[in-house]
Structure 1
Amino acid sequence: MLMVILAGFLIGALGGAAALVLSEGTPGKTVTTTGKALVGGPFTLIGEGGRTVTDGDFRGRHMLVFFGFTHCPDICPAELQVMAASLGELGDKAKDVVPIFITLDPERDTPEVVANYVKNFGPEFVGLTGSPEAIAEAAKAYRVAYSKFTPEGAGKTSNYSIDHTALVYLMGPDGEFITHIPYGTQAAKMADTLRRYL
């Protein structure tokens, strides 16, 4: 939950800074900015059946990417349900979007575990895992912060949890970042966002 709050503050701060920059200058003049968001990038991970999956496998379709872990008690399943519902609202256009879940817990989330987990949200979902190094690299590319901790009274060290950024990333058919969708966004609003870019 802490990561969700921190992500909200970060997004707000970036938006405020952008607004400040755009509001300065000559009154009555329109300011145009250009640039590329440094979010997303190449990844090489492991999918169902142990096959290697790269970001390039999804070229030509939009990617809807969420990072989490299968032992997550609330945020992850709730967000994946919203993703599934938003795709359901798109009708035929949903075929142009591939929903991708990338685990932040490769220690417990094997390819089989992740594949079985994402099937709960729909057959179109792709679940990915990999080595800790590959997961860390993908998370860094998407600016996802995460940390492992053991709750008080959890007992065994295998009962750990993971704090993580809870954003959904919409990537274009070329693999480039389009926008992010904050945690807590309703399915109808997420579907509206997707329609805008499809």
Structure 2
Amino acid sequence: MKEKILFVFVLIFGIGLGFFGWKEWRSKSNSQEPVFVSEWSTSSLKDTNNQEIVLGKIPGKLKLVYFGFSHCPDMCPRALLDMSAAVQELGSLGKDLTPIFISVDPERDSPELLSKYIKQFPGKRLIALTGDKSRLDSLQSAFGAISKKVSAPQLEGGYTVDHTVFLYVVDEQNRIIATYPGNTDGKILAKEIRRFL
């Protein structure tokens, strides 16, 4: 009986901590101070046409940026669907938001493969980019994002990639002005982003 009471107490305590942690994140997310990302203004990556493009010159008043990889089984497809849904949900304002998928798996994610991959998602605004590992590592670091190759012999290529799962809103001044969890619903994303348009 004591074990059951202790279990319930720990469960309630854990849920409480999670709730207050979420509230803390929400308050920070809504009042985030803009963070200038110099790497965004100077770095270039390859698009799906194998052309080098400077990130700071990508059109759109705002960019919605996600770091992931095409072989990701769940979180990446979900994030890209939500990004596309946010653009659609914004209606005419959607033209001012450019969704960007940056691969953290350059070994497998060639421009050609990414070109095929992003066709699975609705809309035609999604941009997919890749580049050499050192450049990608530097860019991720600037965003406070990380990724790590993990051995998985049962999978294609023998590995997977663990990575940060966040969506970043970047403005025309190359600043991160908001950050959201990668599983944020497209409608909620649109509502949040509308404040900046």
TM-score interval, normalised by the smaller of the two chains: 0.7 to 0.9
Residue 160 of structure 1 aligns to which amino acid in structure 2? Y
Question: Please, which runs of 5 or more residues in structure 1 have no aligned partner?
Answer: 1-8, 20-32
> CA contact under 8 A between 1:45 and 1:129: conserved in structure 2?
yes
- Partners of 2:94 and 2:32 lie apart in 1 by 30
- Partners of 2:134 and 2:175 lie apart in 1 by 22
- How far residue 37 of structure 1 moved from its aligned partner, in angstroms, is 2.9
Residue 154 of structure 2 aligns to which amino acid in structure 1? A
Give the structure with the larger helix fraction.
2
- How far residue 82 of structure 1 moved from its aligned partner, in angstroms, is 0.7
C-alpha distance 136-107 of structure 1, shift in aligned 2 (>3 A)? same
Name the structure 1 match of 2:132: 131
Q: Give CA-to-partner distance per residue, 1:8-66, whole Å, 9 cap, x none.
A: x9xx59x58x99xxxxxxxxxxxxx9965365732211112211111221255210000
Residue 180 of structure 2 aligns to which amino acid in structure 1? I
Query: How many aligned positions are there?
Result: 171
C-alpha distance 188-115 of structure 1, shift in aligned 2 (>3 A)? same
- Partners of 2:155 and 2:44 lie apart in 1 by 34
C-alpha distance 113-40 of structure 1, shift in aligned 2 (>3 A)? farther
Alignment of 1:33-72 (within 5 A): 36-37=34-35, 41-42=39-40, 43-58=43-58, 61-72=61-72
* Corresponding position: 1:103 with 2:80: no
SS, match of residue 174 in structure 1? coil
C-alpha distance 171-36 of structure 1, shift in aligned 2 (>3 A)? closer
- How far residue 137 of structure 1 moved from its aligned partner, in angstroms, is 1.3
C-alpha distance 61-114 of structure 1, shift in aligned 2 (>3 A)? same
Question: Please, which runs of 5 or more residues in structure 2 have no aligned partner?
Answer: 1-17
> CA contact under 8 A between 1:170 and 1:180: conserved in structure 2?
yes
Alignment of 1:8-19 (within 5 A): 12=21, 15=24
- How far residue 125 of structure 1 moved from its aligned partner, in angstroms, is 0.6
Identity %: 33
> CA contact under 8 A between 1:100 and 1:128: conserved in structure 2?
yes
SS, match of residue 130 in structure 1? coil
